[in-house]
Amino acid sequence: MKRTHFFLFKQLFCTLLCILLFSACAQHVEEKPQATFYPSPPEQPRLQFLTTISSEENLGAKKSDFDNFLLGSDVAFPTIGRPYDVSTSPGKIYITDRQANKILIIDLATNKFNELKDSGLGALITPAGIWVSRDDVKYVTDMERKQVVVFDAKNDFVRAYGNKELFEKPVDVAVHENRIFVCDMLKNQIVVLDKDSGATLLQIGEGGPGEGQLYKPTNITVDKQGNLFVTDAFNFRVQQFDPAGKFVKIFGFHGDQVGGLARPKGLDIDREGNLYIADAATENTQIFNNKAQTLLFFGGPGIKPGNMYLPAGVHIDYDNIVFFNKFADKDFKLKYLFYVCNMSGPNKLNVYGFGDWTGK
């Protein structure tokens, strides 16, 4: 009789133990994070926050057994320091890292970080803005060299434009056809150079608050027609100039409401003519149409998914969607990517996707 009771007790104990173990395992099943969309539901999404890249680990990189043996398993992955500006070519993301004062190269095919090996005549001192052309040529403004330094598709130094007589503080650069546009923050103007000769073709802007005047410009971009867009930071606006340097229109105004700008920084324009402007004070990005009307704003301060933390440079990318489709909702079809450099906080490079909702 006692053996029967013991046997029954043992069966009951094992059953309860299995139930507890199953419950514990069920509680630790990781659920896929809920997607962050803009605008928020129930409105139809147009933009999805996809992921953040702060280190190789975010790309899915893994250390080899040899690395673990040689360096130890606790050795950190290569990381981004203080990203200031960003540009891309197919399969690559280029970041100006103001902490290391280097150009960081993110290889999306291998999930590895590398540095552009600048040296000799091409040695960078204080790099700021970066523009990468369709043929993978890199144009980098160096504030201390007071030049635009150029590297080819193999990352070899090609040449440098400008000198201390021409530039005072070159902070950003954009290229269209045979023209190089250089934003000089201290001269309050944009200097336009001939790509072949390096000669000055045009000087756009002068100090002041009026139309066509600039006060501490920080960032520039050009569209496919050659129109120039300038972040006129201390006038709290973005100005557009035509290819001849003539003033066209103003985007934004001083304020912290929709359409207002408090500390505008990076900007870029999509193929439909919509302008993206990041703001380091409100820590969001606003999208304006070609009539200077606000279409959407997204981001917000903080470190949660989609938030921004002292945003600086931004960039629109049509070439590398294939590497980020895995982060998109199954009902959201990506049309292009949008990157934001966060100069502070743990999330260094935010990646968003603009697209079309195909679900119900």
Write the CA distances from 35 to 26, 87, 124, 345, integer angstroms.
Answer: 22, 25, 39, 21
Task: Please state the domain extents for the chain.
Answer: 46-357
If pLDDT is split at 50, 70 and 90, which confidence band does 15 have? low
Q: Give me the residue label for tokens 């990189």.
A: 61
Longest dimension (CA), the chain: 105
What distance in Å separates the CA atoms of residue 187 and residue 228, rounded to the nearest whole number? 17
Paired residues of 93 in beta bridges:
88, 106
Residue 262, both tokens: 């408090």
If pLDDT is split at 50, 70 and 90, which confidence band does 100 have? very high
Domain 46-357: which CATH number of 3.10.100.10, 2.40.40.20, 2.120.10.30, 3.40.50.720:
2.120.10.30
| Model pLDDT, residue 78 | 86
Q: For residue 93, give the 3-state DSSP assignment.
A: strand
Contacts of 302 (CB under 8 A, 6+ apart): 283, 309
| Model pLDDT, residue 127 | 98
If pLDDT is split at 50, 70 and 90, which confidence band does 64 have? low
Q: Is the pLDDT of residue 237 over 50?
A: yes
If pLDDT is split at 50, 70 and 90, which confidence band does 307 have? very high
Q: Is the pLDDT of residue 14 over 90?
A: no
| Model pLDDT, residue 26 | 47
If pLDDT is split at 50, 70 and 90, which confidence band does 74 have? very low
What distance in Å separates the CA atoms of residue 197 and residue 207, rounded to the nearest whole number? 28
Give the mean pLDDT of the chain.
Answer: 90
Report yes or no: 218 and 231 within 8 Å, Cβ to Cβ.
yes
Residue 164, both tokens: 């201390």
* Choice between 95 and 74, residue whose per-residue pLDDT is larger: 95
Residue 278, both tokens: 């990041």
**DSSP state letters, 261-292:** ESSEEEEEE-TTSPEEEEETTTTEEEEE-TTS
What distance in Å separates the CA atoms of residue 48 and residue 36, rounded to the nearest whole number? 6
